[in-house]
Amino acid sequence: MHNLKRTILITGASSGIGRKIAEDLLMQGHVVIGISRNCEQFTTYHPNFIFEKLDLGNLSTFPEKAKALVKKYTDIDTIIFAAGYGKFCSLEEFSFAQIEALMNVNFTSQVFLTQAFLPTLKQKKRADLIYIGSEAALQGTQKGTIYCASKFALRGFTQALRQECAKSHLKVSLINPGMVQTAFFAQLNFEAGGKPEQHLRPQDVARAVNYLLNSDPYCVIDELNLTPLHRVVHFKK
Ligand SMILES: NC(=O)c1ccc[n+]([C@@H]2O[C@H](COP(=O)([O-])OP(=O)(O)OC[C@H]3O[C@@H](n4cnc5c(N)ncnc54)[C@H](OP(=O)(O)O)[C@@H]3O)[C@@H](O)[C@H]2O)c1
């Protein structure tokens, strides 16, 4: 374990995977700046938690907002990109607006945020960019055209960015979880099996983040794939 105290920006800190990562890192004494639309969901007060309300689906003024974050939080040395959502249906059922919104949250906003912070992060003695991809970044699935496209895009982006950062001390990593029991499935017509061996838990992903953050400074873990012991999908009635 390294004792380095970090200032960590986490998107999607209000729920599920991002929230668990935020809680873990706060417990370890790091400062966490959480981005999402609703801070009310992050109910636990913590003196080291700062909330920034931002809609990652609406990118019209996003580059300016990202630049403002860079100016406001010069100590940020780590960003964890955990915001995202799923929409699964056949391509003909998507409206243009739905496609745009999904790509904005799951991919384009992450590119904009990365681009804004890159110059300062590259100057740091140690910095990390950790993206939450998905098993959908590895294999196209039925009704997953846009979701898979967003996650494949993110995977290609992180692989290329890793090369671009290879001369700095900035590490770039991607975690691809299988089904994790979170609110992600609340609006979907399927979910992971309920038995412990049939789904991952947010803490499994938080542990993977810890592993990345505490790895040797000269060792980059490019990609981690996590899957539940038994893959079971339940379709809701
Ligand atoms: N659960 C799974 O099975 C699973 C598997 C693989 C990968 N993932 C990925 O893991 C990430 C987190 O998912 P989760 O399971 O933790 O889902 P979740 O519990 O629904 O959390 C999603 C987070 O994303 C934020 N978010 C969504 N839309 C946003 C927007 N327009 N602007 C700002 N923030 C937004 C939400 O915050 P607000 O609602 O407060 O804005 C929330 O904090 C996603 O990228 C997802 O694709 C999930």
pLDDT at res. 131: 98
86 in any annotated domain: yes
> Which mutation among 9, 15, 174, 200 tests ligand 1's pocket best, with the greatest number of atoms within 8 A of CB?
15
Nearest 5 degrees, angle CA 158-CA 162-CA 165? 130
How does pLDDT run across 49-66, given as a tens digit for each residue?
999 999 999 999 999 999
In a domain, 36, yes or no: yes
**Per-residue model confidence (pLDDT) at position 41:** 75
Q: What is the distance between the terminal CA atoms of the chain, rounded to a whole angstrom?
A: 46
14 belongs to a structural domain: yes
Atom number of ligand 1 nearest to Cα 104: 31
Structurally, how many domains does the chain consist of?
Answer: 1
Which residues in the chain show pLDDT less than 50?
none
In this structure, are residues 213 and 6 in contact, taking their beta carbons and an 8 Å threshold? yes
pLDDT of res. 101: 97
Residue 99: inside a domain, yes or no?
Answer: yes
* Closest C-alpha to ligand 1, atom 17: 184
Q: Let me know if residue 1 belongs to a domain.
A: no
Does a structural domain hold residue 119? Answer: yes
Domain that holds residue 190: 7-235
112 three-state secondary structure: helix
Question: pLDDT tens, 77-125?
Answer: 999 999 999 999 999 999 999 999 999 999 999 999 999 999 999 999 9
pTM of this prediction exceeds 0.95: yes
Q: How far is the CA of 184 from the centre of ligand 1 (A)?
A: 6
Q: What is the pLDDT of residue 2?
A: 57
Percentage with pLDDT > 70 across the chain: 98
Distance between CA atoms of residues 229 and 191, nearest Å:
16
CATH number of the domain at 207, please: 3.40.50.720
Exposure string of 89-118, with b = 16+ CB inside 10 Å and e = fewer, is eeeeeeeeeebebbbbbbbbbbebbbebbb
Q: Is residue 2 part of a domain?
A: no
pLDDT of residue 3: 65
pLDDT at residue 82 in the model: 98
